[in-house]
Each structure stands twice: as structure tokens, then as C-alpha cells.
Chains A and B, each alone.
Chain A
Amino acid sequence: MSRVLVGVKRVIDYAVKIRVKPDKSGVVTDGVKHSMNPFDEIAVEEAVRMKEKKLASEVIAVSCGPAQSQETLRTALAMGADRAIHVEISGPEYETLQPLHVAKILAKLSQDEKADLIIVGKQAIDDDSNQTAQMTAALLDWPQGTFASKIEKSDAGLTVTREIDGGLETVKTKMPAVISADLRLNEPRYATLPNIMKAKKKPMKKVSAKDLGVDLAARIKVISVEDPPVRQAGSIIPDVDTLVAKLKEGGHI
């Protein structure tokens, strides 16, 4: 029986239209709907399923961010996590929070909490970094199974099926280990009403990065954030001759 630590990040909901700030320093987040990173939802679901199958004894959800991250943690608790740790990081520190910081926080917490397994989403849909799992594994010197689409318990540890270019790869890891969840690992559940109610009473601990001894000085500087190029409007042309003429006109043929 193992204890599982799950990282959950609060990101802009994927159904929301993203707007870049006029000064290109980032995207507009004020007054914008946020939810749990979809890949982290998959991570929580997997941890909860492990607990339901009695492969895990306890599921702890961790989120690093401002006070609103507690809503994301409540969602994880409503899905079935047992308790939550909110690492409060706000203001300018949160704006420059990077995967390395989160990895250090997760590594420290996993030791404090005596976790045997860390599951995170393979990437967050806001910055698309895809670094946290790998860095956490490196810092702890634990084996890693990234882009997991299937996790099975085997004698000494885990058998992880990984999504790789053009196919699947199966690896075996010992425990403790770090896993990152890919899209096909599972389909996360909707929190049911009784569980949403119960989640309000589940324990949530608040700590700071300082408490954990993690230095939050930025290692990467974001130079500019820009909108993708706008797709140019197409036009409908009546026949092939016009098409050929237009292509010639544009110098394509």
C-alpha cells in the first residue's frame, strides 16, 4: 500500500478564449474562469482509482499558487483525494513560478509526507512546459514513467505504458517513482454531490515555499507572449480557370 502525491495546477479553463495582455507580458487572467489543468484531473483520477483498488492507502493533492488554488484542491478532494496541501504563492512570485520551483516543492513534500508515488499531468495547458515530472524525478533520483497511458502494479513496482511517437512503449519502474499522466490514461469522473459536500470538510494544510526551503527566484525570463497569427480569410472562386489565374497572380505557379 502506498501513499500517492498528486500535483494539481489551476489554469485558465480550456473552454475560455485566451487574450494576450496589451504589453505582451503574459495573458489576461483577471476575471477569467479557471479550472484544474485537464491532465492533472487525469492524474487525480488515476490516484483515486488506485485507492479504490486498494493499491494506494492515501491520496494527497498539492497545488502551488494563489488563494484561489484552494478551489482546485477542493475539486481534487471532491474527486476522491483524502487531503490537500496548498503551497501559497502569490503576486510577483507566482507570475514567475516555474517548473523547477514546483518540482523542488513536490520533491520536498514527497519526503515530508513519505510518499511512494507522485503523479502529475504531463503538462499544464497554459505554459505547456512538460518539465515538472522529469525534474521532480531527477531531484529525488527516482525512476520516472512519463506520458503514461496505462499504469499497472507489478511485483517490485509499476508497469507503465507510455505514449511515444508512432506507438507505445512499456517500461517497468521500481517504487518510489514519478509518473506523468497522458490523455488516454483514463476519463476523469465528475465529482458527485455527496462528495462535493464531503470535500468541504476534508483537511487542507497551508504552507509557504519558504517553509519548505524552496527559493523562488526566477530562472527563466519571459520575453514576450504573442497571439498566434490570424488565419487569413479564404474566398470562393467560381471555376478552375479563375483558380489558375489567381494562383498565377499570387506567384504560386
Chain B
Amino acid sequence: MIKSIAILISNLNKTNIISQAKYTTSVLPQFSSEKYAVKRKNFGILKSADVEYFKSVLSEDRVLTDESDVLPFNIDWIKNCRGQSKIVLKPKTTDEVSQILSYCNKNRLAVCPQGGNTGLVGGSVPVFDEIVINLVHMNKIISLDDISGALVCEAGCILENLDNYVRDHNLIMPLDLGAKGSCHIGGNISTNAGGLRLLRYGNLHGSVLGIEAVKADGTVVDCLRTLKKDNTGYHLKHLFIGSEGTLGVVTKVAIHCPALPKAVSLGFFGVENFENLLKLYKSAKSSLGEILSAFEMADNKSISLTVENCKLSNPIGDYPFYVLIETHGSDETHDSEKLNRFLSQEMESGLILDGTVTSEPAKIKNIWHIRESIAGAGLINGYVFKYDVSLPLRNYYDLVLTLRTRVGDRARVYGYGHVGDGNIHINVSASKYSKELYAILEPFIYEEVAKVGGSISAEHGVGFRKPQFIHYSKDKTALQLMRDLKQSMDPNGILNPYKVLPDVPDIEKD
């Protein structure tokens, strides 16, 4: 009898396995350096003496050099980028990270810091033979203050594990994203991950209280405080939030966890057009106010493709647009009263065509699962060009339509994202990668984003894929200050090279 329940639960979760599968060996992606024509910089080449040194610092089983062992660390999960690293190091302590970096800095060996390798812009995998420093073994929770909500842990902790842990103390992690089952908190911070509830709990620049990071020369920078307020000098922790491992390797984290909401409700609705969707957002903000925790949208193609590829079922009918609204509150009666009033009002006004609403945890999980599966669903058809941009809400969906016309029947273009944050994910799903399609999409898409004052990377970062486009969102003075910081903190440029900052000539060309 128990077995049947297990089947029931595993049926509902089976697509997790698909969305979390890192890569398959069936088709190996092309080397990034060839695919994107990059030249190796003048770094040292790994010698057997180096390997011996690393083995002396770490135990032997935490130094991987076998080609097949190293392969998964060279490929990103969307099978877009492939590096050629010969070695993976798995430190357990800050001290080990420091020793590794100090050695690499002296010997000008380039490194690629890596967390759960769930990044979408190739920032988490090497480009050439950079040494991969994977923080998977730095997964200890150090302390939790259940009064202030301050959690201190090592950078390699998996987000979902942390969330489960703090939930036992009536707290939640301030961020939640589709990759939660494999992404590391250190990677979240290094990439300033946004996610599904940024609308409510703010971004990491607000919730990270402190950071311990190791600079390129091995110096451990200790900013690991748990204070909410600390105006003593420059706010250095922010340098490590979103700098994608180019200024230092984040080793420990202090983060503020909000209280676990006692009442959670979720609605999933069909909407006629994007204009109505924006009206609904405006209405939700005023009617639901402080309990609104997520306002997500997906177009018809996003949902139909996800439902089909991941073998899920759509809880409601077929609609041009879908909206997911979540509320987090402290009193179920109060929240449901508000929600019901909002729903009857907007059903009547016609902004909501139909939909469903639930406060049952299992149903909430299933509906979120559909939303979270969109990101991986297109991969099942072959290859996905992924764009993550911020746009003024009035222009939020226009780009999808423009791209659809431009791409024609070469690929499927669909858009979904965090309306509340003005952040849309545009996916272009094709049977395989093609240079022709690539040239149709880029830099066109970035030019369009720049025209309306958007950002070419809302939450995924710049990584390997976007440095040459960063100028669409950052001017020369900002870029120069970034270079100055990089020069000061990593003069040899060994930390995650070929990422974030473009080569100087590229800028001048533009």
C-alpha cells in the first residue's frame, strides 16, 4: 500500500529528474573556444608538479584528473559551453581554497570557481584549461539565529537543503529558483541570483549580511558579519555579489532568512492578452499589497511546450497568457479574504478568464513545478538560446513578438518570467545550435533591449556569453571602474578569465 503512495509522489516529481539532469554524454557540445573563436591568454600550463602540490594540500580523492571524471565539470547544463580543464579541485575549507589560490597566483595558473554549475551564461565552466575549483564539499551549516534569522553557512551548501533546514526553524531562504535542488548558495551570491520571490523578499544585495571570500592571491577577506546594519567603511561584501567569481571566491555566507509564512496561496490564471496581464499586475499590487510574493507570467507557447515535453498536465485550459500569483502571509483567513475579493473582482472585470486557486501544499508544489520546468523544457527538443533581460513593463513582451517575426519558422520563440521584477526570459528553441540562427539573434536582441533602456542581463549575469555585449548596459566610465577593481583584486587576472569584462580592443571596436 505504501508503495502506491511512493508511485503517486514519484509520478508527480518525475520530471524533476529531467530538469535536474546536468547533461548527457550522447552529444558533447563543441569547445567554447572554437564555437565562439576565443584565444587563450598567456596563463601557465598545468604540470605534474602542480598536480602533486594540489594532492598535498587536498586529499587525493579530492583532486580529479581522469578525463571522464573531469568532463561533467567542463560542460554547463544547457550544453552550450564546454571547457578543456584537465583538473578539478574540491576544497573542504577556506584555508584549502586560500592555499590553492595563492599557489595558482604565483604560478599564473587560471582558475574557474564553480558551484552547482547551473549557470546559464557559461560563467561556471572553464573556457580553456582553467583549474576548476568546485566548492561541493564546503557544505556545512555553521549557525542559525532563529531570532534574527541570520544563517551562516559554507558556500557549497545546496539552496534547497538550506531551505529545508531553516524551515525547521520557521524561517525560509530569501530566494527560490528552479535550480534550487542543485545550485549552491555561493554560486547564487556570486551571480546575484534573483529567482521567483524577489518581488517580495528583495535581492541578495539586501539579504546577504556578510561574506567571507578569498582573493586571487589567497588572502581571506573576512566580512562575515551577521549584522543588519554596519556602516563602517566601504561595503565590500557587495563586490562579491554578482561579480561571478572574477574578484574572489566566496567561501562563507551570512544571509538573512525571513519568517516562514503561515499562510500560502497560489493562483494560476488564463489571461486574454498582455495588456490585460499588466492591468492584472497593477490590480494585484493594490489589492493584495503586502501579501503578494510572486507574480509570474508565461505565454501560451511556454506552457504548451513544457506540458508536452515534460509530460505534465496543465491545470487549466488553453489561454494566450498565463499568470501565476502567490501570496505569503501570516493569517489564512485574512489572506483568503483578500485573495477571494481580488479574484471575484477580476473574474468579473474579465482580466482573469479562468483559472484555479489553492492553498494545499501538494497542489502548490505541482503548479510551481510547471512554472519551474519551463527553463529546461526546450532542451528536450535539442538546443535553446536563452536570453534573460530586464525591460520596462510597457515593452516587456514586445521583444518576443519581434523575435518571432525575425526568426520565422527556424525556431520556437517563447517568453516567461518575473513580471514583478520587469524581468523576462526569452527562449529560442531549435533542434540544434546553428551559426545562422545565432547571427539572427545576436546582437539584434541586445540592441533592441538597449533601445528601450533595458538590461541585457537581468539575473543570469554576464559570464562567458555576454562580455562583448555588456556595453549595451554599462557605459565606459562604469566599465573602467570595473577594470580598476579587477586589477586591484586580481592583478594577474587568474580568477574566472574570459568572463564578465570584455577585452579592451572589443570595447574600442564598438
On whether the two chains bind one another, the answer is: yes
Interface residues of A (CB under 8 A from B): 13-16, 31, 33, 35-36, 38, 122-123, 125, 128, 130, 182-183, 187, 189-194, 196-197, 236, 238
Shortest distance from the beta carbon of B46 to any chain A beta carbon, whole Å:
22
Task: For residue A37, give the distance in angstroms from its CB to the closest CB of chain B.
Answer: 11
Given known contacts A13-B362, A187-B313, is B7 in contact with A196 (CB within 8 Å)? no
Report which B residues bind A (CB closer than 8 A).
Answer: 1-2, 4-5, 7-9, 11, 60-61, 262, 268-269, 313, 315-316, 343-344, 347, 352, 354-365
Give B167's nearest chain A residue, CB to CB: A17
Q: How far is the CA of A122 from the CA of B4 in the complex (A)?
A: 10
**CB<8 Å pairs between A and B, sample of 7:** A14-B362, A36-B360, A189-B315, A190-B315, A190-B316, A190-B356, A196-B356
In chain B, what residue has the closest Cβ to A19? B168
Q: Check if A35 sits within 8 Å of B363, measured CB to CB.
A: yes
Which A residues touch B365, using CB under 8 A? 15
CB nearest to A147 among chain B residues: B4
> How far does the alpha carbon of A123 sit from the alpha carbon of B3 in the complex, in Å?
12
Docked CA distance A187–B5 (Å) = 14
In contact, A125 and B5 (Cβ under 8 angstroms): yes
- Please indicate the chain B residues that have their CB under 8 angstroms from the CB of A128 in the complex: 1-2
Q: How far is the CB of A225 from chain B (nearest CB, A)?
A: 15
Please name all residues of chain A whose beta carbon is closer than 8 Å to the beta carbon of B360 when the two chains form the complex: 13, 33, 35-36
CA distance A236 to B310 in the complex (A): 33
Is B60 a contact of A13 with CB atoms below 8 Å?
no
- Rounded to whole angstroms, the CA-CA distance of A16 and B9 in the bound complex is 12
- Chain A residue contacts of B7, Cβ below 8 A: 183
Chain B residues contacting A236 (CB-CB under 8 Å) are: 61
B319 CB → nearest A CB, Å? 12
Q: Which residues of B contact A191 (CB under 8 A)?
A: 356, 358
Chain A contacts for B60, CB-based, 8 A? 238
Given contacts A35-B362, A192-B355, contact A197 B5 (CB under 8 A): no
- Asked whether, in the complex, the Cβ of A193 is within 8 Å of the Cβ of B354, the reply is yes
Chain A minimum-CB-distance residue to B8: A183
Per the bound structure, the CA–CA distance linking A197 and B8 in Å amounts to 29
In the complex the two chains form, what is the Cα distance from A27 to B60 in whole Å? 46
CB < 8 Å: which of A33, A36, A187, A193 contacts B347? A193
Whether A130 touches B361, Cβ cut-off 8 Å, given contacts A183-B8, A238-B61, is no
Q: A125-B5, A190-B316, A238-B61 are in contact. Are A15 and B355 (CB under 8 A)?
A: no
Question: Complex: how many Å from CA A31 to CA B261?
Answer: 12
The answer to whether B356 touches A16, judged by C-beta atoms less than 8 angstroms apart, is no
Given contacts A182-B4, A190-B268, A197-B344, 4 further A-B contacts (CB under 8 A): A15-B364, A33-B360, A35-B363, A190-B363
